[in-house]
Structure 1
Amino acid sequence: MVDASDGDANRHDISDSASELTRMTDADPQSLAAYYDKWAESYDADLPKMGYDAPVRAAAIMVAQDIAFDAPILDAGCGTGLTGQELARAGYTDLTGIDLSLESLQAAEAKGVYRHLKKRDMNKPLAFGDNGFAAVQCIGTLTYVREKRKLMAEFCRVVKRGGIVSFTHRADLYDDAFVKVLTATTRAGLWEQISHSDPMPYLPNHKDFGDK
């Protein structure tokens, strides 16, 4: 149950919300929630048209890192549940999703793959106890997090020792400040890097991201 307490042809065949994605990079949480609430209805149809495959890749990472299929996983920024859906297809059964958009959470709930779904702003502390998850994934969401260092520390807090923190970030935003966040988290002894991919296409069929 949702907890609301707190090709060229493809490029012309996506919703207006998808077309306006670049405008949201610096949006405040209220504007961001409203944007994704509006987009939720067509999101699942738009993403495949834009060539988005990060959820599939993210699920494969969990399998490759030997995360047990019955282990609890936090899907941070779960959106409409595309990420959770791929985890479920891979065999994972204990998924918790958090997102800022209530409409997206309701779409995720309809997929029937999450044990828990909660409305959360990841610029604030995560409302979970310590060491409660075997892994956390944050796919396609870091763009909108202002307090990235605090969020990474929170991920490390809620994931048990030996667990996995897996995330994606846009290459154009993978700047010196972001590198410092990762370095600081490592120096604090909160995690160690075990894998780092080369840059991959983000939205290859999106008019503003296709050439990046």
Structure 2
Amino acid sequence: MMDASDGTANSEDISDSASDLTKMTDADPKMLAAYYDQWAESYDRDLPKMGYEAPVRAAAIMVEQDVAVDAPILDAGCGTGLTGLELSKAGYRDITGIDLSLESLQAAEAKGVYRHLKVRDMNKPLAFGDNGFGAVQCIGTLTYVREIKKLFAEFCRVVKPGGIISFTQRCDLYVGDFIRALDATTRARKWDLVSHSDPMPYLPNHEDFGAEKRIFYDVYRVR
């Protein structure tokens, strides 16, 4: 049920894990894995109630950037597979998903849209070969990555030249080290900026996020 007064989801409508989301911004990988393992069972029900539309927008970006439907795509931080499901609806069929949470990956596997699913900590090397993907998308996950400059380098390594890297980041976290990592990757001539969106909705119906916390969608092309 939606609160008619302000459009936010009542706390009774979403799970305790969804309500606790803001507490996880600074969590370490072990805590994150445990948190998302616990949330996996209700995640797909909670996210629509909170107004989460990033998976749909992310899939549209791949189409807009003319990423071929048979191109291998890395869905980094795929969670329960909502992002991969939207890619599949857009026609993509060679999708690899990675995530910290085994329970989330099992939920993603049940959707039947991924070719491969693997447990990965994105603060570490991705353990994929060079130039193996036509695109990477990383949606709603960079909040938790501490080694962001190294991850950007890894994305550029695993995506073939001319391929696309698409990601979201919360506007309030698009500062300091994050911007420096973007700039350093550009100065190293690893990628070129294609587009940087206006602030967009993130979880508008979550009582702790609402309209105030928004996200950017960035797209880069690998050199």
CA distance in 1, matches of 2:72, 2:119: 18
Give CA-to-partner distance per residue, 1:131-165, whole Å, 9 cap, x none.
Answer: 00000000000000000000000000000000000
The alignment covers a number of residue pairs equal to 206
CA distance in 2, matches of 1:53, 1:153: 27
Q: In structure 1, what residue type is equivalent to 2:146? A: R
Name the residue aligned to 2:164: 164
Q: In structure 2, what residue type is equivalent to 1:67? A: V
Q: In structure 1, what residue type is equivalent to 2:10? A: R
Name the residue aligned to 1:207: 207
CA distance in 2, matches of 1:113, 1:184: 35
With 168-177 and 190-199 compared, the bigger mean Cα shift is at 168-177
CA distance in 1, matches of 2:67, 2:201: 26
Q: How does 1:143-182 map to 2 (within 5 A)?
A: 143-182=143-182
Answer yes or no: is 1:125 the counterpart of 2:113: no
Answer yes or no: is 1:63 the counterpart of 2:63: yes
CA distance in 1, matches of 2:101, 2:49: 22
Give CA-to-partner distance per residue, 1:33-78, whole Å, 9 cap, x none.
Answer: 0000000000000000000000000000000000000110000000
Where does the alignment leave 5 or more consecutive residues of structure 2 unmatched?
A: 213-223
CA distance in 1, matches of 2:76, 2:206: 24
Say whether the 8 Å CA contact 2:27–2:144 is kept in structure 1: yes
Q: In structure 1, what residue type is equivalent to 2:100? A: L
Q: In structure 1, what residue type is equivalent to 2:38? A: K
Q: In structure 2, what residue type is equivalent to 1:98? A: I
CA distance in 2, matches of 1:116, 1:11: 36
The structural deviation recorded for 1:201 is: 1.2
Name the residue aligned to 1:85: 85
Say whether the 8 Å CA contact 1:123–1:151 is kept in structure 2: yes
Q: In structure 1, what residue type is equivalent to 2:164? A: I
The structural deviation recorded for 1:178 is: 1.0
Name the residue aligned to 1:10: 9
Name the residue aligned to 1:34: 34
Give CA-to-partner distance per residue, 1:147-199, whole Å, 9 cap, x none.
Answer: 00000000000000000000000111111221111000000000000111011
Say whether the 8 Å CA contact 2:96–2:116 is kept in structure 1: yes
Scaled by the length of structure 1, what TM-score is found? 0.96
CA distance in 2, matches of 1:202, 1:171: 10
- Give % identity: 79
CA distance in 2, matches of 1:80, 1:201: 21
The structural deviation recorded for 1:10 is: 2.4
Q: How does 1:94-113 map to 2 (within 5 A)?
A: 94-113=94-113
Name the residue aligned to 1:4: none
Name the residue aligned to 1:49: 49
Question: Relative contact order: is structure 1 or structure 2 higher (C-alpha 8 Å, sep ≥ 6)?
Answer: 1
Give CA-to-partner distance per residue, 1:93-120, whole Å, 9 cap, x none.
Answer: 0000000000000000000000000000
Say whether the 8 Å CA contact 1:153–1:190 is kept in structure 2: yes
Name the residue aligned to 1:134: 134
Query: Which structure dedicates a bigger proportion of its chain to strand?
Result: 2
